[in-house]
Structure 1
Amino acid sequence: MMILIICAVVLLFVGAPIAVAIAGSTTVAIGTSGIFGLEVVPQQMFIALNSFPLMAIPFFILAGHLMQVGGISERLIDFGSALIGHLTGGLAMAAVLTSMFFAAISGSGAATVAAIGSILIPAMLAHGYGRGFTAANQAVSGALGVIIPPSIPLILFAVAANESAGDMFLAGILPGIIVTMSLLLMAYFYSRKRGYKGVQKATGKELLIAFRRSILALLMPVIVLGGIYGGIFTPTEAAVVAVLYALIVGFVYKRFTLKKLADAFADSSVTSAIVMIVIAAAGLFAFYINVLGFPDQILAFMESINLGVVGFLILANLLLLIAGMFIEAAAAILIFVPILLPMAVGLGIDPVHFGMIMVVNLSVGLVTPPVGLNLFVASDLAKMSLSALSKAVIPFILVLLISIAIVSGVPQLSLWLPNLISGG
């Protein structure tokens, strides 16, 4: 185990991507252990990818990219602004609300920031909002993309924990609403303190027009999630339906060009490849630590110090928050599920509930340096330094920590809908 840790630290120190660091260090550890031959490396990496539910990931990624270039974000922003833009801090709250809508389409935090922020960040700056608050508000709102279903991290947890992706999607709805409401309150009270006024109130006719223009976009999560829970198709099949629907909507809105379509497919291919490489590397790592009996050793240690449920949850939350600062969410889920989940189950914590605790924690990693991807996207859109944005985002992180405490301490927020649908 020590060889694995040393190699991983060295590779990360020299700037190797996280997937390379995980796979490279694990390969060296396997090669020097004498337990297996190196032929297990490609075998286990293939096994990690050989899962039908994982096929949903590239399709949901493609659907998100198609929605991004298909005119969806503009219509969602118009609807969100017409709905609450006239309130104090209206544009800031519209950014949160629109990000929630878009998150139910894209499943990606960075895509949500790029699609919504490219329009609302300049609009907020033009209306006198502070640059730091504007960028931080959009960066944190984008984190909803990994909490609200369909979400790639929720799929990954379902695969790693051998749980139902449909149950995980259901589990993400109420925690996603809790986080959304906390961000709306943060935007409102901060804006009231700073005197950020709303835009002109939309008339009933304007609100109706904005709703009508966005109805096709708003229907997508209804069709996808409704089809899953109605037993019409599996989450993987739902991802394919999402792609077809995104193509139809894009053509209806007349926003597609050959170049936009080619770029969407190319970007989706690159993103999917990156995610799959991380999954393969993390699968190899999980195989090796299980062979060493590492999860059982940690479980025995935790039982020996008798932390209890509350102590374990506090320790797990701290570990995941720190890990999220340095490790991308997909890799963190696949690395920590085989380590932490057996302990959680041993203490009587429901796996679905623990999955939501993991995902909400790791969503914070999107807005914490040095790896926080949302920060990079938002800082570029707002034309401000990453260090300045990292300071501006601190109050928002405190709000997210409160949401984490609520999700951790109230299991029914995650379990009520899955139990209701399954009849449990």
Structure 2
Amino acid sequence: MFMFSILVALVILVCINVPIAIALGLAAVLAIGVADGTGALVTVALDMYSGAKSFSLIAIPMFVLAGAIMNATGITRRLIAFVSAIIGFVRGGLAMVNVGVSLFFAEISGSAVADVAAMGSIIIPEMKRRSYPAPFAAAITSSSASLAIIIPPSIPMILYGVSSGVSIEQLFVAGVVPGLLGAAGLMGVAYYYALKYNWPTEEAFNLRQLRATFVEALPTFALPVIILGGIFGGFMTATEAAGIAVVAAILVGLWYREIDWRELKQAMLEGGMQTAVVMLLVATSVLMGSFLTTARVPQEIAAAILDITANQYLILLILNVFFLVIGFFLHSAAAIILVVPIIAPLIQQAGIDPVHFGLVVTLNLAIGQQTPPVASVLITACSIAKANIWEVTKWNLPLIAVLAFVLLISTYVPAIPMFLVEFFYR
């Protein structure tokens, strides 16, 4: 009954628009004070500090900063030109360019919101100018941006790794194949729409233009090679790779001599605020996690579900539905920090690979970024396109179906996402 009261208090605080991190902290302090007495609150500040100072978390602001530098130095524009030269001649090619560039940008920023903000401001107006419907332009930009939390590096994967103690590098490797499958599926839907509505092709394929855009974008290609090559090759951790990504992005920007200082400043401020929100969530979640562990709530939940079924696939089905539902209402960072420590004992007792489950969680939350009412990535794309969210959602349903298909494949055919992990690490 006491735990139910704490949960009700947390829900009420969230419903009256108290920020989730603050609501979580208040609920945790209330729970600890009632259960253990006010004397137990003496170490609250130290516990919060200890929870937020994890070395792995430094990767989050670093990857966000690298993405901001890319957008402020003309790197994004050069990527669009290069990918357009490769596939722009296909009908609906600009929509495919959108997906292709998101795929590349995802390998630097690790943030879907950063991806859609950076990409959308450039490519959505261009798609509208080429007679693509504004709702579709917002939908394809939003869905392709969610690849940023599937393809390494991924900020939600970093948070999951910190919350569960799982190798972040192995999580990154597990996301490669599902991310590529998702990109191919999104391009397929874009091509179908293009044929159905007779959308335009870009310029005819031109080998000279392809060569010119490749040479212009060549320094940019060093970024994913350094980041992913360093991580997968075992030369650096994810956190070290994040720092290297910032340095590499600065060097590429200096090479191009095209830094928009105003845009860079604004992007850095926004990235700093996003990071502060995540860090506060991490800090307050430590308090709640400590209380829940003492009260043995995770163990009781695990026992209750295992009493229903011990079948791994049924447990994964239950958890998939659960994460899809909470994805409607919580941002990915909040969902991971709140829920993963609670269900970790269930995953362990059911014998589910925690790396595989981390990928499943991330895919669920990628879908949650596209489903109102929260849908932070979708709302950002709608704002840029000046399109109604419900009109965008109608166009977005087939794209969400692609992400759901990738989720099902990754959940129930684990060999597909996990064979790279097995090859590199086991």
Under TM normalisation by the shorter chain, which class is it?
Answer: over 0.9
Residue number in structure 1 paired with 2:20: 18
Distance in structure 1 (CA, Å) of the matches to 2:260 and 2:383 = 26
Moved more, 303-312 or 290-299: 303-312
Instruction: Name the aligned partner's letter for residue 43 of structure 1.
Output: L
Residue number in structure 2 paired with 1:389: 392
Does the CA contact (< 8 Å) of 1:316 and 1:340 recur in 2? no
Instruction: Name the aligned partner's letter for residue 188 of structure 2.
Output: L
Instruction: Name the aligned partner's letter for residue 20 of structure 1.
Output: I
Residue number in structure 1 paired with 2:298: 295
Q: CA deviation at 1:257?
A: 4.3
Q: How large is the RMSD of aligned CA atoms in angstroms? A: 1.6
Q: CA deviation at 1:284?
A: 2.1
Long gaps (5+) in structure 2 = none
Distance in structure 2 (CA, Å) of the matches to 1:109 and 1:5 = 29
Q: CA deviation at 1:282?
A: 2.1
Distance in structure 2 (CA, Å) of the matches to 1:397 and 1:317 = 15
Say which SS state the counterpart of residue 104 (structure 1) adopts: helix
Moved more, 302-311 or 254-263: 254-263
Long gaps (5+) in structure 1 = none
Instruction: Name the aligned partner's letter for residue 10 of structure 1.
Output: I
Residue number in structure 1 paired with 2:278: 275
Residue number in structure 2 paired with 1:342: 345
Distance in structure 2 (CA, Å) of the matches to 1:202 and 1:39 = 68
Q: TM-score, normalised by structure 2?
A: 0.95
Moved more, 213-222 or 240-249: 213-222
Residue number in structure 2 paired with 1:380: 383
Say which SS state the counterpart of residue 39 (structure 1) adopts: helix
Residue number in structure 2 paired with 1:87: 90
Distance in structure 1 (CA, Å) of the matches to 2:54 and 2:211 = 44
Distance in structure 2 (CA, Å) of the matches to 1:289 and 1:391 = 40
Residue number in structure 2 paired with 1:244: 247
CA separation of 1:396/1:203 partners in 2, compared to 1, >3 Å: closer, same or farther?
same
Residue number in structure 1 paired with 2:76: 73
Distance in structure 1 (CA, Å) of the matches to 2:326 and 2:43 = 27
CA separation of 1:257/1:90 partners in 2, compared to 1, >3 Å: closer, same or farther?
closer
Distance in structure 1 (CA, Å) of the matches to 2:138 and 2:124 = 7
Residues 226-265 of structure 1: matches in 2 within 5 Å?
A: 226-265=229-268
Q: CA deviation at 1:254?
A: 1.6
Deviations 1:353-391 (A, max 9, x none): 000000011011111111111112111111112232233
Picking from 327, 351, 356, the partner of 1:324 is 327
Say which SS state the counterpart of residue 153 (structure 2) adopts: coil
Does the CA contact (< 8 Å) of 1:85 and 1:199 recur in 2? yes
Count of residue pairs brought into register by the alignment: 423
Q: Is 1:2 aligned to residue 8 of structure 2? A: no
Distance in structure 2 (CA, Å) of the matches to 1:363 and 1:226 = 25
Q: Is 1:160 aligned to residue 163 of structure 2? A: yes
Residue number in structure 1 paired with 2:176: 173
Distance in structure 2 (CA, Å) of the matches to 1:228 and 1:129 = 39
Residue number in structure 1 paired with 2:189: 186
Moved more, 125-134 or 152-161: 125-134
Distance in structure 2 (CA, Å) of the matches to 1:344 and 1:333 = 14
Distance in structure 1 (CA, Å) of the matches to 2:418 and 2:134 = 39
Distance in structure 2 (CA, Å) of the matches to 1:6 and 1:340 = 19
Instruction: Name the aligned partner's letter for residue 4 of structure 1.
Output: I
Does the CA contact (< 8 Å) of 2:309 and 2:315 recur in 1? no
Distance in structure 1 (CA, Å) of the matches to 2:20 and 2:393 = 22
Residue number in structure 2 paired with 1:402: 405
CA separation of 1:242/1:295 partners in 2, compared to 1, >3 Å: closer, same or farther?
same
CA separation of 1:283/1:191 partners in 2, compared to 1, >3 Å: closer, same or farther?
farther
Does the CA contact (< 8 Å) of 2:70 and 2:76 recur in 1? yes
Distance in structure 2 (CA, Å) of the matches to 1:110 and 1:22 = 23
Picking from 51, 55, 60, the partner of 1:52 is 55
